[in-house]
Amino acid sequence: MPSLLARFAENIYWLGRYLERAENLSRILDINETYARDDAGGPSWRRVLDLYADTERFAANHETIDVHSVVWYYLFDRDNPSSIVNCIDLARENARSVRHLISTEMWTQVNVFRKELSEMRTTKVGVANLSGLCHQVIHGCQSFEGVAEGTFFRGEPWCFYQIGKYIERADQTTRILDMGYDRLSAGEGYSGAWVDWNVLLRSVCGYHAYRSRHPGVSNPHDIATFLLYDTEFPRAAALCVERITSRLQEIERRHMERRKPGVEAKRRELEFLLETGPGRELTPQSLHHYLDQIQIALAALSDEVGRAYFTGR
């Protein structure tokens, strides 16, 4: 197998990340729409903006925060660099750069998906079709993932694809949890609680898995634990970190060299965070802080992977 160019490793890594990002962003829009609909106190689209620290940027070009403006911003706005349509464009551009390294089926899938998505931009977005649009995006991303699973040669490029995908997924799972948890723990008096955890779990395809893991009455603590630590759940942060670790080890084996110290340090930091937990009683505040730490550690790991493998030195 010919050696992998540093630049292409980076392209493949981001191909994995952007598709995963688009999928999760759709999940968040979908779940928030459901929340917002049941919310007597008015829709809370601001929450999504907060989640991605976009409040200021959004305010610069928008007067009101409502379902139309926020959903358009995240689904189709070309001026929002992390909108879904831009994510898929970037995924496709990265795929185009490494078209010789991925399977023809993967390329065709993302190429057609991107075209369909651009055509969807003419759709008027409203509450009635939001869920449908989100599911279309999710379906496109999942199809890509399935095609990759079935056709992508398991060489070094595959490792970088997996690392990108799992770093993004771990990051996004913590964001979804963050968004839902304050509502989950809003107290016994809150009648909508069980609807909320139901929606949260469904948004990460974890409802049935969770039910079988925790039959009976649910509580926010169990749900948080499940999403973070259950290594049999494919979107759990701990499972993502496990996968990242084994792909990093595989790359080291392929290069026949010792661990890259920078990468290793950040990877262990993540492992440590997940092994020790928030360290005190779980409250919305402590969890929020803890999830922040995980997100920061993931970003640092991403930087180190870039330094170690994407510069070609």
Partner 1 sequence: MVVRDPDVKDGPLAGYDHGGFYCEMFGRNGLAHTADIRRRLNKLDSSGLRRRAKAAERELYNLGITFTVYAQAGAIDRILPFDVIPRVISAREWVQLESGVKQRVAAINLFLHDVYHDQKILKDNVVPADLVLGNDNYREEMHGVSVPKGAYVHICGTDIVRDGKGTFRVLEDNGRTPSGVSYVIENRHLMMRAFPDLSEGIAIRDVDEYGAQLMRTMQTVAPGGATDPTVVLLSPGKFNSAYFEHVFLAREMGAPLVEGQALVVENDKVYMRATSGLERVHVIYRRLNDDFLDPIAFNPESMLGVPGLFEAYRKGKVTLANAIGTGVADDKAVYAYLPRIIRYYLDQDPIIENVPTNICREPDGLKNTLDNLDQLVVKPVGESGGYGVVIGPRASKRQLAELRAKLKADPDNFISQPVVNLSVCPTLVGRAVEPRHVDLRPFALTGDSTWVLPGGLSRVALRRGSLIVNSSQGGGSKDTWVLA
Binding site residues, partner 1, CB under 8 A:
2-9, 93, 96-97, 99-100, 104, 107-108, 111-112, 115, 156, 160, 251, 254-255, 257, 309-313
Nearer to partner 1, 3 or 212 (CB): 3
Q: 3-state class of 232 per DSSP? A: coil
| Minimal distance, residue 215 CB to partner 1, in Å | 46
126/135 Cα distance (integer angstroms): 14
Nearer to partner 1, 27 or 92 (CB): 92
Nearer to partner 1, 6 or 205 (CB): 6
| Minimal distance, residue 101 CB to partner 1, in Å | 8
231/308 Cα distance (integer angstroms): 27
| Minimal distance, residue 160 CB to partner 1, in Å | 8
Residue with tokens 């595989």: 250
Residue with tokens 């809370």: 44
242/202 Cα distance (integer angstroms): 23
Nearer to partner 1, 108 or 283 (CB): 108
Nearer to partner 1, 32 or 109 (CB): 109
Nearest to 298 by CA among 175, 201, 159: 175
- Going by the DSSP 8-state scheme, the letter that residue 216 receives in this structure is S
| Minimal distance, residue 96 CB to partner 1, in Å | 6
84/52 Cα distance (integer angstroms): 13
**Do 136 and 221 meet the contact criterion of CB atoms below 8 Å apart?**
no
| Minimal distance, residue 84 CB to partner 1, in Å | 18
| Minimal distance, residue 305 CB to partner 1, in Å | 10
Nearer to partner 1, 187 or 258 (CB): 258
Q: Give the amino acid at 99.
A: R
Nearer to partner 1, 7 or 139 (CB): 7
- CB atoms inside a 10 Å sphere around CB 81: 10
**Do 295 and 171 meet the contact criterion of CB atoms below 8 Å apart?**
yes
Q: 3-state class of 135 per DSSP? A: helix
- Torsion sign (Cα): 101, 105, 110, 114: positive
| Minimal distance, residue 45 CB to partner 1, in Å | 29
